[in-house]
Structure 1
Amino acid sequence: MDEVNKFLIRLYEASREVELDEFQEHALTLFNGLVPFDLARWGTTALDERGAAYQTPWFYKDPPESLQDYNEFREQDTAAVLVLSNPDRTLNFPLADYYSESCAGLRAYQRRYQHAHALITSHLNRVTGLYDALSTYGAHTNRSFTEAQRQLTELVFPHLREALRINQSLHVERMRPRADGYQWAMAICDAAGRLRFVEPQFTELLLLEWPTGPRQGLPVELTRIASSTPEARFVGNVVVFCIKVIHQSAFIRARRRMPVDSLSRRELDVARQVAAGLTHKEIAKVLRISPATVRHHIQAVHERAGVHNNAELATQLRNCGL
C-alpha cells in the first residue's frame, strides 16, 4: 500500500501543478509505474447502436489513427459494450483470444496495434451522459494482466478521474470572470465541440438556448466558433457564451443574457468609455465623434440597458464581462 499512497500523493500534487493539456499524459506515466502497461487510451465514450463510440481519448503511446481504424470494427467489440454496461468495474480481457473467428477484422486490428491484453474501466457521467473510460493495453500475448493489477486499476481509476476533475476545475476557475452580480457557468470542450468538463449550470443554459440541441456536446453554432477562432462571443436569444481557445482546449463561459447585451457596437464602445470614467469631451475625442453624438449615445445606452446612471451602467458592464 505504500506504493499506492505514494502514487496518490504524486497524482494529486500533479492535479494542482501540471497544465491541463499535459495532465493526462503525466497521470498515465505515474500510473504506469504502479500497473505496468504498454499503451493506453483515456477519455470519454458514448454508447450507441454501433457499440462504443470513443469521443475525446488521450492516447498514451497508442497512435491516434488506431481510433479511426477502430470505428470500422466497433460493432464487433463486445468487450467495450460489456465494460460500459458494468460501470465502475475494471474488466480484464485477453483480447488475443477473446473474439471468435467471425470477428476477423477486429482481431487483425488488435494485432496491428498490439492490443493483446486490456484492463478497461468506465464510469457514467450523469451530467454529460457520457462514460469516462480508461483502457490500458499489454502488447505481449505471453504477458497478461494479473487479478491484483485488475483490482488495483479498479481502486485507482476513481482517483484518476477526480484528479483530472480537480485539474480541469482549477483551470476553469482561472478563466472564470469575477463578477458581483452574475455567476458564469463554465465548460471545457475540444475543437470538435465534445465536452471534456461541464458544470451542471452550463448544461442548463445550453438547454435554455437550444431546447432540442445535443446533450453530449456543443450545438453546431458554438462548435463552429470553437474550431475557427481563438476568442469569440456568441449572443443568443437568452444566453451569452464566451469562448477562448488555449492549446487544444476551448474554455467556454455562459450566463443569461442581460439588457446591456443588446447594445450596438458603437453604443458598447461609448458605454465602455463611460464606465472608464471619461467625460463627454474625452469620449468624443477617443471615438472621433461630436460631444452631442456622445450625449445621444449615452441616453440610448441608459434606456436600452435599463440603468439610471453611469455607476449602474459600469456595474452591469463589469458583471457581464464587457
Structure 2
Amino acid sequence: MKKHELGEWGALLLGLYRASHETALEEFQDAALACVRPLVSFDASMWGTATLTDQGIDIHTLHLHRKSPEMMAEYEPLKDLDDAAISLIGLPRATRSFDSDLLGGPDERRPYYSEAGFDEMLRREWSDWNGGAIPREVLEHFLLGNGHYLGRTLVLSHRTQQGLLFLHARPRRPVDELSPREHVIAELMAMGKTYKEIAKALERSPATVRNQIRSIYQKLGVTNIAGLIEGLRP
C-alpha cells in the first residue's frame, strides 16, 4: 500500500472512531458512511441485518442511506436474488471482497459485481477481455433499444433497476440461429398448430411456411416436433 493510501485509510479509521464516540446511535450509520465515501465511491447504500430462511432472506433491521423508503418496495421481490448478501449470511465478522478498481471511478462500464461463470463467458467471447469494462459494443447495442446481444458464443440480455444495469449471460444455442419470423413459427408449432393454420394466421402461403419449417428443423438439428419443443426450452 502506498504512503498516501495509508494516510487515507488512517483518516477513515480515525473518523469512524470519532463518530462512534461523538455521534448519537441513530446518526452513527450516516456518519460512518460519510467517512467511507471519500475512499469508496457510491451514491447510496443499505445497512442492515438479516437471516437466511427456507423462504428466503428475512430482513430484521435496515438503514437506508440517501435512499427513499420506496426503494425497499422495489428491492423486496428481488432480495432473494442478492447473491452478495446471501454469501455473507452465517459468517460473523466477514466482509465481501470486491476489486477496488471496479468500485466507482469515471468508467461507468465497469461491473460492480458478477456471478460465477459470467466473467468466463465474456472471456470466451472476447479473448482480450481482462475483467474490466463491459465491451462498449454491448452497451451501444442496448442503447439502440435492442433487448438481446447475440454474440459468437453467448447471448446477453439486460434490464435496469434503480439506475443499475443488470446483465444476464448464457451460452449461445441453436435456437438463437432462428430469424424472428422462424421463431414465431416454431412457437406456434410447439403449441400444436399445423402449417396450414400457421400460414393463415401469418397471412403467408402454405408453401412458404413449409419451407420455413424445414429451415427451422435444420437450424435446430431436429427431425420432429418433440425435438423442436426441446430445442425451444430456455
Mark yes or no: TM-score above 0.5.
yes
User: SS of the counterpart of 2:132?
Assistant: coil
Q: Is 1:120 the counterpart of 2:42 in the alignment?
A: no
From 80, 83, 95, the equivalent of 1:170 is 80
Tell me the residue number matched to 1:271. Answer: 186
Aligned CA distance change for structure 1 residues 134 and 264 (closer, same or farther; 3 Å) = closer
Tell me the residue number matched to 1:250. Answer: 165
TM-score normalized by the length of structure 2: 0.57
Q: Is 1:295 the counterpart of 2:210 in the alignment?
A: yes
Give how far 1:158 is off: 10
Post-superposition CA distance 1:195-214 (Å, at most 9, x none):
23310211111111112125
**Can you give the 5+ residue segments of structure 1 that lack an aligned partner in the other structure?**
1-46, 52-76, 95-114, 123-130, 136-156, 174-189
* Aligned amino acid, residue 259 of structure 1: P
Aligned CA distance change for structure 1 residues 239 and 282 (closer, same or farther; 3 Å) = same
From 200, 207, 212, the equivalent of 1:285 is 200
Distance in 2 between residues matched to 1:242 and 1:172, nearest whole Å: 18
From 198, 204, 207, the equivalent of 2:120 is 204
Tell me the residue number matched to 2:221. Answer: 306
Give how far 1:298 is off: 0.9
Q: Does the CA contact (< 8 Å) of 1:271 and 1:301 recur in 2?
A: yes
Give how far 1:244 is off: 2.1
Q: Does the CA contact (< 8 Å) of 2:142 and 2:148 recur in 1?
A: no
Give how far 1:134 is off: 7.2
TM-score normalized by the length of structure 1: 0.43
Distance in 2 between residues matched to 1:220 and 1:245, nearest whole Å: 17
Distance in 2 between residues matched to 1:286 and 1:81, nearest whole Å: 71
Q: Is 1:317 the counterpart of 2:222 in the alignment?
A: no
Tell me the residue number matched to 2:86. Answer: none
Tell me the residue number matched to 1:183. Answer: none
Q: Does the CA contact (< 8 Å) of 1:91 and 1:121 recur in 2?
A: no
Tell me the residue number matched to 1:91. Answer: 13
Aligned CA distance change for structure 1 residues 297 and 244 (closer, same or farther; 3 Å) = same
User: SS of the counterpart of 1:240?
Assistant: strand
Aligned CA distance change for structure 1 residues 266 and 172 (closer, same or farther; 3 Å) = farther
> Which structure dedicates a bigger proportion of its chain to strand?
1
Distance in 1 between residues matched to 2:132 and 2:210, nearest whole Å: 47
Post-superposition CA distance 1:40-76 (Å, at most 9, x none):
xxxxxxx9xxx9xxxxxxxxxxxxxxxxxxxxxxxxx
Tell me the residue number matched to 2:28. Answer: none
Q: Does the CA contact (< 8 Å) of 2:142 and 2:149 recur in 1?
A: no
Aligned CA distance change for structure 1 residues 249 and 196 (closer, same or farther; 3 Å) = same
Distance in 2 between residues matched to 1:223 and 1:80, nearest whole Å: 36
Which structure ranks higher in relative contact order (CA pairs < 8 Å, sequence separation ≥ 6)?
1
